[in-house]
Amino acid sequence: MASTYGAAQVLVASNRGPVSYTVGEDGSLDAKRGGGGLVSGLSAIGSDADALWVCSALSDGDREAVRQGVGEDGVRMLDIPADVHADAYNGIANSVLWFVHHMLYQTPLEPVFDAEFRRQWASYETYNRAFAEALAEEAARGAAVVVQDYHLTLVPGMLRELRPDLRIGHFSHTPWAPPEYFRMLPDDVAAQVLRGMLGADRLGFLTERWAEAFTACAERFAGGLGGTRIGVHGLGADADFLRKRAHEPDVEERIAALRQEIGEGRRTIVRVDRTELSKNIVRGLLAYRRLLETHAEWRERVVHVAFAYPSRQDLAVYRDYTAEVRRLSEEINAEYGTPGWTPVVLNLKDDFARSLAAYRLADVALVNPIRDGMNLVAKEVPVVSDAGCALVLSREAGAHEELGEDAITVNPYDVTGTAAALHEALSMRPEERAERCKRLAAAATALPPAQWFVDQLDALRG
């Protein structure tokens, strides 16, 4: 992998990188490599490809690693000042751009684009510029650069000015807002975002729907796409990895423990999410409560296993949402629970092996986001499920474009409709469930992460 300036032929830029560091008690640095689609996608390029991943230092450990010159081959971490990073990441990326693309604002009170926003926006520009400059330094002549996500929308335009010779791509892992929502942003900011993105040769999106929304925004607010090409690459689940990982001893142990918690002979409705506003966990719980209320026959015969892992806890609105998920789960348990039956098994502690255990046991998977770029859980559960699960899936998830035919589709706002869908899923004949699940798994794995990345690269160079 590339280590000297100006030598990288393939570059990836993202806020979160493939590795993170913690400082041990003795002051030593401990590296932890993350998982996920991008990481496995990049490893497919191989070591002779002169690939470099540019990412941001996110923790004190990461910053210490940069200062000490500790690092992995093929990864360059940028030590952006912590306050600038916090403004750009929490302030703009997660509280503004994420909210716009997922349409999460409660508009009578939010958003308020005031002086504080302007200050944070300046940090977002600084943060994007740091990436553009690092990429410009590292890239070989004519190299391909793939910039990831809403954290880095200004990078393509900035990099284009610094290095007109590069092939620049950008990939959005989120939805893109329709013009009527996007125009909530102050006009100059909206124009800057679009100009930044349109600095790329090629923009990638997870579905046609998000690509069309971007195109519509570009046409209305930026005079069109110019020379920028648009492509759709629907990231799939990594079947080989998941199936192998889901049968390792730590997962088997957790299956045994979960079985105990669920109880003999009961059906299991599984959901696994970050505790994220867009995931719609609260309405999912309301729908489950409605199921117990209207279909008394399921009482004592079903358990809702809900794993909601902490996310973005720096933001008050995420902490409040987490508290509401906990409160409502407890309320349902108090209302319907019996000495031998806990209707909702909620767990807020991140544990991947436990998630896989739940996937294997699932009779029904509930994936009901308000809006979601893709949603990989919808793809992963059918791949791993032991007996074949039914999938209750929001029509607003990108995954719905690929899985809609064999899922039970819900409008995520419609709680009674979702309750009815849960009943339908629980009542499905086992043979039908197994057949549908097989087709879901096939569709879910059609584009493995490694191929997803290589396709983007080929298209960018082609």
- Interface residues with ligand G6P (CB under 6 A)? 15-16, 149, 173-174, 373
Instruction: Give me 253's structure tokens.
Output: 């142990």
Nearest CA among 288, 267, 273, 275 for reference residue 323: 275
| Cβ-based nearer residue to ligand G6P, 162 or 315 | 315
Least CB distance to ligand G6P at residue 16 (A) = 4
- d(C-alpha 194, C-alpha 225), whole Å: 9
The answer to whether 145 and 166 have CB atoms below 8 angstroms apart is yes
Least CB distance to ligand G6P at residue 433 (A) = 28
Least CB distance to ligand G6P at residue 181 (A) = 17
Least CB distance to ligand G6P at residue 315 (A) = 10
Helix intervals (H) in 246-376: 249-262, 281-294, 316-336, 352-361
Residue nearest to ligand G6P (CB): 173
The answer to whether 242 and 383 have CB atoms below 8 angstroms apart is yes
- d(C-alpha 445, C-alpha 236), whole Å: 5
Least CB distance to ligand G6P at residue 312 (A) = 6
| Cβ-based nearer residue to ligand G6P, 174 or 268 | 174
| Cβ-based nearer residue to ligand G6P, 76 or 173 | 173
| Cβ-based nearer residue to ligand G6P, 59 or 68 | 59
Nearest CA among 230, 162, 168 for reference residue 199: 168
Nearest CA among 193, 192, 149, 153 for reference residue 171: 149
| Cβ-based nearer residue to ligand G6P, 146 or 255 | 146
The answer to whether 336 and 297 have CB atoms below 8 angstroms apart is no
Instruction: Give me 187's structure tokens.
Output: 């006009």
| Cβ-based nearer residue to ligand G6P, 15 or 445 | 15
Least CB distance to ligand G6P at residue 290 (A) = 28
Q: What is the DSSP letter of 169?
A: E
| Cβ-based nearer residue to ligand G6P, 151 or 163 | 151
Least CB distance to ligand G6P at residue 402 (A) = 16
| Cβ-based nearer residue to ligand G6P, 379 or 433 | 379
Largest CA distance in the chain: 69
| Cβ-based nearer residue to ligand G6P, 16 or 319 | 16
Number of other CB atoms surrounding residue 282 within 10 Å: 16
| Cβ-based nearer residue to ligand G6P, 201 or 276 | 276
Instruction: Give me 201's structure tokens.
Output: 């040769």
Number of other CB atoms surrounding residue 371 within 10 Å: 21
- d(C-alpha 259, C-alpha 185), whole Å: 48
The answer to whether 92 and 126 have CB atoms below 8 angstroms apart is no
Q: What's the Rg (C-alpha) of the chain? A: 23
- d(C-alpha 116, C-alpha 38), whole Å: 33
CA 382 to chain centre: 18
Least CB distance to ligand G6P at residue 122 (A) = 21
| Cβ-based nearer residue to ligand G6P, 149 or 396 | 149
| Cβ-based nearer residue to ligand G6P, 16 or 259 | 16
Least CB distance to ligand G6P at residue 3 (A) = 25
The burial of 194, by beta-carbon neighbours within 10 Å (0-12 exposed, 13-18 middle, 19 or more buried), is given as buried
Least CB distance to ligand G6P at residue 360 (A) = 23
The burial of 220, by beta-carbon neighbours within 10 Å (0-12 exposed, 13-18 middle, 19 or more buried), is given as middle
Least CB distance to ligand G6P at residue 232 (A) = 16
Instruction: Give me 120's structure tokens.
Output: 């944070």
- d(C-alpha 375, C-alpha 355), whole Å: 15
Least CB distance to ligand G6P at residue 218 (A) = 20
